[in-house]
Amino acid sequence: MTVIFEGYGLLWLTLICLVVIYQFLLRTPSIRRNGTPLRIPPNTLPIAGNGLLFLQDRQKLFSWFVKCERQFGFETFQITVPTLHPGVVINDPKNLDYVFKNEGVFAKGDFVKQRSWDLFGNGIINADGELWKAQRKAGLHFLNTSNLRILTDVALPRYLSSSIDQVRTRIKEGKTVDLQLFFHEITSLLMGKMAYDMEMHADDDFTVAFDHASGAVAERFQNPLWFVTEIFTGSRFRRSLAIVRQFGLGIVNNAVDEHPKSTGSLAQSDDVDGNRLDQVSGSLIQSLLASLGSQHKLVADAALTYLTAGRDTTAQALTWCLYLLMRNKSVIEKIRKEAQEVLRAHGLESQQLGSKGNISSAVFAPTSLPYTMAVFYETLRLYPPIPFEIRECEKATTLPDGTFLPEKAVVLWSLWAMNRSKITWGEDADSFRPERWLAEHGRLTVKGASEFPVFYGGQRTCLGKRMAEIIATQVIATMVLLFDFTPAYEGERVSKISLTLPMKDGLPCFLQDRAQGGV
Ligand code: HEM
C-alpha cells in the first residue's frame, strides 16, 4: 500500500485537493454533540483528515483503534476522510445497541455496497429490504434443527475424521501441518456439501481467487481513492473476480440440474448416515432458488456470500484459537480434562476418537463443554473474525449519548478495539483468560451483543452462530485430545488484509499423535 502511495504521490495529492474542494462545495450538516463538535483522534491531519492513516497496514490500524478507545473511552469521536461523508467511531455499547435496534436507520448503504458490490452483488451481506428478507428466510431454512442434527451426527464427524487421517499421514512423513488450511478444509467440505452439494476444498482455484478478491475489497475500505488506484493495480483482482463469478454461477447451474432432494430422486444405499447427509445436501442453494426464483446472478451472489459468512469466519476462529492455545499450554490441559470427563460419562475413551465414525458431536456439544466454549469465546473476543463494521445513516438521527448524525453519516465500530476495552473487560482486557466467561460452578456466562458484538445483533444477528459453536467445541476438544502442538514459526502471527481475519502465512505446526505416547 505504501509503495502504491509513493509511486503515485503527485496523482494522489492532486486528487485529494480536488476532492476536498468538491466536499467543501457540497457540505453536509455537521456531526455535533449537544451543539459542539466532537473530539478528533490523534494523528488527524489538516486536509487529509484520517485518510492517510487508513492506508496503513491493518495490524497498525487495529492498534490505532485500541489506542483511541483507551484515550476516549466510550466517548464517540469524529473521523474525516477526503471523498467520504463525515463519520464517527462508536465504542459505547449503548450506542451500538441503538444501531442494532434501528436497522432501518443504519443500513449498509452506498458506502459499503459500492465497495463490495463486485464481490457480493446483492448477496445477503450487501442487501437491504426485501432482497435481504428473502435470503435470510432461505438461510433460516438451511440452518433448521434437523439440518444441524445431521451436521453434528454425520457431516462434521465424517469430515473431521477424514482430515485427521490426512494429518496423521503428514505426521508419519515428518511434515508440518498448516492448521489454518486444516480448519479451512473441514469448513469447505461441510459448507460445500451441505449448502451446495459440491465437493469443495481449501486450496482450490476458487478459494485462492476468493481470498485475493476479499483482500482487494477490504483495501477499498481503507483507500478512499480505490477507484483510481485499481486502474493501475487491479488486474489480478479483476481476474480473481472472474473466477469467483464463474464459480458462483457453477454452483447455481449444478443446483438447477439437480432435482431437489425432496422429490426422492436419490438412489438409496445401505449407508444410512450417507443417505441422511445426501437428503440435506444442497439444501441452502435449493432454498435460495426457491426464494429468489430464476434470477441466477442473484442466487449466485447469495450463495457466495453465505460461503464466506459460514466457511471462512469459522475456520479463522479455530485457527486463532489453536494459536492462542499453543501460547497457553495450561488452557490445553483444562480442555483435555473437561473433554475426558465428558467422554468417561459416555463410557468412551479418547483412543476411540479419530477413527471413522467414532467422533460424536452429540458428546462434545457446546452445552457439555462450558470451559471449551469459554475458550472459543475468549478467542473470538481477541480475534473477532469480522474485525470492523460500518453502517451508513439512511436518515438523520441522534445516538443515545447525544451525538447528532446527519443523513449519510458513516458509523464505524472496531470489534478489535471494543473487545479490548478495559471499561468492559477489566484491566486484564489484553490477556487471554477464558475464565472471564465462567460464573459459579463453571457455568458459561455470555455478554449481550452490544458489549460483545462478534456475531452482530438485532435483526441481522449472525444466522450461523449455533452452527459455529457446534463446530468449534467438537473440533477443539477432539484436536487437543488427539494431538500435541508445537509452532513451526517464530514470533507473533498477524492477520492479512481481508474482509474477515485470516492469519497471514497460515499456522504451520508440528503435530504429535498423543495416541502414540499412550494418552
Ligand atoms: C465464528 C464464526 C462466525 C462469526 C464470528 C460470524 C459473525 C457474523 C457477523 C459479525 C455478521 C454480521 C455481518 C454484517 O452484516 O456486517 C454475520 C452475519 C451472518 N452470518 Fe455469521 N459468523 C460466523 C459464522 C457463521 C456461520 C457458520 C454461518 C452459516 C452459514 C453464518 C452465516 C451468516 C449470515 C447468513 C449472516 C448475514 C445475516 C444477515 O444479514 O441477516 N455465520 N456473522
Q: Which domain holds residue 108?
A: 2-517
- Judged by DSSP in three states, 491 sits in coil
Q: Are strands 32-33 and 397-398 parallel, antiparallel or unpaired?
A: unpaired
Whose C-alpha lies nearest to ligand 1, atom 7?
455
**Which pLDDT score, from 0 to 100, does residue 6 have?**
45
What backbone phi and psi angles, to 5 degrees, belong to 258?
-75, 150
**Which pLDDT score, from 0 to 100, does residue 128 have?**
85
| H/E run at residue 392 | strand 388-393
Whose C-alpha lies nearest to ligand 1, atom 15?
125
CA distance 110 to 408: 9
20 Cα–ligand 1 center, Å = 36
**Which pLDDT score, from 0 to 100, does residue 56 have?**
84
Place of cell 487437543: 480
445 Cα–ligand 1 center, Å = 21
Place of cell 476418537: 353
Q: Which residue positions form the known binding site?
A: 462
Instruction: Write out the three cell numbers for 486.
Output: 508445537
3-state SS string over 69-109?
HHHHCCCCEEECCCCCCCEEECCCHHHHHHHHHCCCCEECH
What pairs with residue 512 in β-bridges? 484
- Judged by DSSP in three states, 509 sits in strand
| H/E run at residue 32 | strand 32-33
Whose C-alpha lies nearest to ligand 1, atom 40?
460
Helix residue ranges per DSSP H, 258-312: 272-280, 283-292, 296-307
- CA-based angle 494:238:107, to the nearest 5? 70
Give the pTM: 0.91
Q: Which residue positions form the known binding site for heme?
A: 462
Instruction: Write out the three cell numbers for 452.
Output: 460483545
Q: Beta-carbon neighbour count of residue 436 at 10 Å?
A: 17
138 Cα–ligand 1 center, Å = 14
For a ligand 1 pocket test, name from 313, 446, 473, 476 the mutation site with the most ligand atoms within 8 angstroms of its C-beta: 313
For a ligand 1 pocket test, name from 463, 473, 476 the mutation site with the most ligand atoms within 8 angstroms of its C-beta: 463
Atom of ligand 1 minimally distant from the CA of 142 = 30
| H/E run at residue 381 | helix 370-382
For a ligand 1 pocket test, name from 108, 308, 414, 456 the mutation site with the most ligand atoms within 8 angstroms of its C-beta: 456
State CA 276 to chain mean position distance: 29
Q: Beta-carbon neighbour count of residue 431 at 10 Å?
A: 12
CB 317 within 8 A of CB 503: no
Q: Beta-carbon neighbour count of residue 6 at 10 Å?
A: 9
Whose C-alpha lies nearest to ligand 1, atom 18?
462
Q: Does residue 282 come out as left (phi exceeding 0), alpha (psi in the -120 to 50 range) or beta?
A: left
Q: Beta-carbon neighbour count of residue 4 at 10 Å?
A: 16
Place of cell 452462530: 465
CATH (domain of 220): 1.10.630.10
Per-residue pLDDT of the chain (519 residues; tens, 9 = 90+): 443 444 455 555 665 555 555 554 445 568 999 889 999 998 888 877 887 788 888 999 999 999 999 999 999 999 988 777 889 999 999 999 999 999 989 998 888 898 999 999 999 988 888 889 999 998 998 888 888 888 878 889 889 999 999 999 999 999 999 999 999 999 999 988 888 888 889 999 999 999 999 999 999 988 878 888 999 889 999 999 999 999 998 888 888 877 555 444 445 566 777 777 877 777 888 888 888 887 888 999 998 898 888 899 999 999 999 999 999 999 999 999 999 999 988 887 776 675 554 566 668 889 899 999 999 999 999 999 999 999 999 999 999 999 999 999 999 999 999 999 999 999 999 999 999 999 988 899 999 999 999 999 999 999 999 999 999 999 999 999 999 999 999 999 999 989 999 999 999 999 999 976 433
Number of domains making up the chain: 1
Residues, the chain, total? 519
Q: Is 382 exposed, middle or buried (0-12, 13-18, 19+ CB in 10 A)?
A: middle
CA distance 297 to 96: 34
Closest-CA residue to 457 (of 127, 102, 125): 102
For a ligand 1 pocket test, name from 137, 304, 419, 462 the mutation site with the most ligand atoms within 8 angstroms of its C-beta: 462
Place of cell 462434521: 156
6 Cα–ligand 1 center, Å = 37
HSE-up (13 A, CA, CB side) for residue 247: 24
3-state helix, strand, coil in the chain (%, to 5): 60, 10, 30
ipTM: 0.99
Closest-CA residue to 379 (of 332, 329, 324): 324
CA distance 286 to 254: 10
Whose C-alpha lies nearest to ligand 1, atom 2?
314
Whose C-alpha lies nearest to ligand 1, atom 43?
462
**Which pLDDT score, from 0 to 100, does residue 16 have?**
58
**Which pLDDT score, from 0 to 100, does residue 266 have?**
45
Residues with CB under 6 A from ligand 1: 124-125, 136, 139, 306, 309-310, 313-314, 317, 380, 385-386, 389, 454-456, 460, 462-464, 467-468
**Which pLDDT score, from 0 to 100, does residue 18 have?**
56
CA distance 441 to 300: 47
CA distance 361 to 151: 9
Rg of the chain taking only CA atoms, in angstroms: 24
Closest-CA residue to 367 (of 475, 469, 468): 469
State CA 173 to chain mean position distance: 33
User: How far does the chain reach from its first CA to its final CA, in angstroms?
Assistant: 49
